[in-house]
Amino acid sequence: MKAQLVQDLETALSNQNFQQALAAGNSLLAQFPNDMDSYILNGDVYSGMGNWGKAVEYYERAESFNPGEAIVYFKLGDTYERKGDAQTAYHHYYSALTLSPENYFYRGNLGRLLYEKGRESNNFDLKKQGLEQMEMAANAGAADRLLKEQLALAYLDQCAAVWRQHPENKDEYLATEREHLDFAKDQITKARHLTDGSNQVLNNYASSIEGHVSDGEKRKFRGYPYLLKAPAIVGALLLVFGQTAFGIVLLLMAGMYYFSQLKPGYLVNRMFYKNDYRDPFIVRRLDALGREMGNITIWATSLSDLFMMQFLFKLVFGFIRYGMVIVMLPYEIFKGFWVNYDLQHKMVAKTAA
């Protein structure tokens, strides 16, 4: 008799025929008033109807029959979460998992709620705990659609977590390392695998991050203009004055520097954090030279002498700067190709192969 009433209730509930489900539930309570399952099933009916208060009432009555039943705590947690009481829901989910630690469905819901709380409060530790619990549940195969979408959201959030906040726009994050882009692509791939594409909010979020990754990989930087102009101007002048060989060499150096400095956009983003990333060695030396030369005092007996001295000073200083650039530029060209084109890793991989 009980089995038939339970089947009738579950069938009616699955068809959302709540009146029939209530009738079956009342019959269960009338015939089996001291049975825990009768109260759980009636709680399920009221939960399906959206009557959270009555659902909690029946689940708590079920708990009084058997305080060690994990499913009751889980259903209470689910109901309180639907009511919007995340704190109480968390305690019930935690109790359910404590009573049944091998149940990864319980673990996944606890992790999902932890992550939501951490995200709302911007609490890194809560988000980390929630992500770990969700991943354990998903890896065990106990991930429903809600958990998968929350886990996908967590993966996408991780992308921005390692990027740097824009110093002027607090809602924007920038990649300043190659690892930032590689990590983001890995997280996006994992997030895409968890969803079927029907959640437009997640799709838009993932597409936005993919756009940032694409921008970060585009080549935008062209090197320091002064370092490019020095060999180009001197090379052109040497050609004009008949020093063809030296002129061609310097023009080739200018071209090689240009191509060696075709840096991806993520390196350009470092310009927003100048105090954290050093300029190239040659630029630092030129700046130091400029400061040292700026301390030199020029004395002149007349205004015309002063202008002439300043002119000669700037001319000599310009020759010195250009000479320093040309002497040290091969180092910057080599370093540019070595770092920006990832030659080091390519050579290591080739050697290993």
Q: Mean pLDDT score of the chain, rounded to an integer?
A: 84
Query: For position 315, what pLDDT does the model report?
Result: 63
Q: Which of 104, 49, 30, 106 is nearest to 72 (CA)?
A: 106
What secondary structure letter does DSSP report for 301?
Answer: S
Query: For position 272, what pLDDT does the model report?
Result: 82
State mean pLDDT over 151-176.
86
- The per-residue DSSP string of 105-150 comes to HHHHHHHHHHHHHHHHHT-HHHHHHHHHHHHHHHHTT---HHHHHH
Higher pLDDT, 316 or 45: 45
State mean pLDDT over 213-226.
77
Q: Please write the tens of the pLDDT for every residue from 78-121.
A: 999 999 898 899 999 999 999 999 999 999 999 999 999 898 88
pLDDT at 65 over 80: yes
Domain ranges (residues) in the chain:
2-220, 222-352
- 43: number of Cβ within 10 Å: 25
Q: Please write the tens of the pLDDT for every residue from 253-267.
A: 999 988 888 777 887
Query: For position 100, what pLDDT does the model report?
Result: 94
Angle at CA 219, nearest 5°, toward 217 and 220?
120
Q: What percent of the chain has pLDDT over 90?
A: 37
Q: Please write the tens of the pLDDT for every residue from 26-36.
A: 988 889 888 89
State mean pLDDT over 209-220.
82
State mean pLDDT over 62-76.
91
Least-confidence region, from 28-42, 54-68, 187-201, 259-273: 259-273
pLDDT at 125 over 80: yes
**Residue 334: pLDDT band by 50, 70, 90 thresholds?**
confident
pLDDT at 70 over 80: yes
State mean pLDDT over 10-14.
89
Query: For position 3, what pLDDT does the model report?
Result: 86
Give the Cα separation of 154 and 75 in Å (integer): 24
**Segment (H or E) for 321:** helix 303-340
Query: For position 111, what pLDDT does the model report?
Result: 94
Query: For position 206, what pLDDT does the model report?
Result: 92
State mean pLDDT over 323-341.
82
Higher pLDDT, 131 or 306: 131
pLDDT at 203 over 70: yes
**Residue 8: pLDDT band by 50, 70, 90 thresholds?**
confident
**Residue 314: pLDDT band by 50, 70, 90 thresholds?**
low
Q: 105 CB contacts (<8 Å, ≥6 apart)?
A: 137, 142, 144
Rg of the chain over all Cα atoms, to the nearest angstrom:
34
Give the Cα separation of 82 and 80 in Å (integer): 5
Query: For position 317, what pLDDT does the model report?
Result: 66
Q: What percent of the chain has pLDDT over 70?
A: 87
Give the Cα separation of 101 and 107 in Å (integer): 8
Per-residue b/e over 316-339, b at no fewer than 16 CB within 10 Å? eeeeebbeebbebbeebbeebbee
Query: For position 353, what pLDDT does the model report?
Result: 67
CATH of 2-220, one of 3.40.640.10, 1.10.10.10, 3.30.160.100, 1.25.40.10: 1.25.40.10
pLDDT at 159 over 60: yes
Q: Which of 70-79, 171-180, 258-267, 318-327 has maximum average pLDDT?
A: 70-79
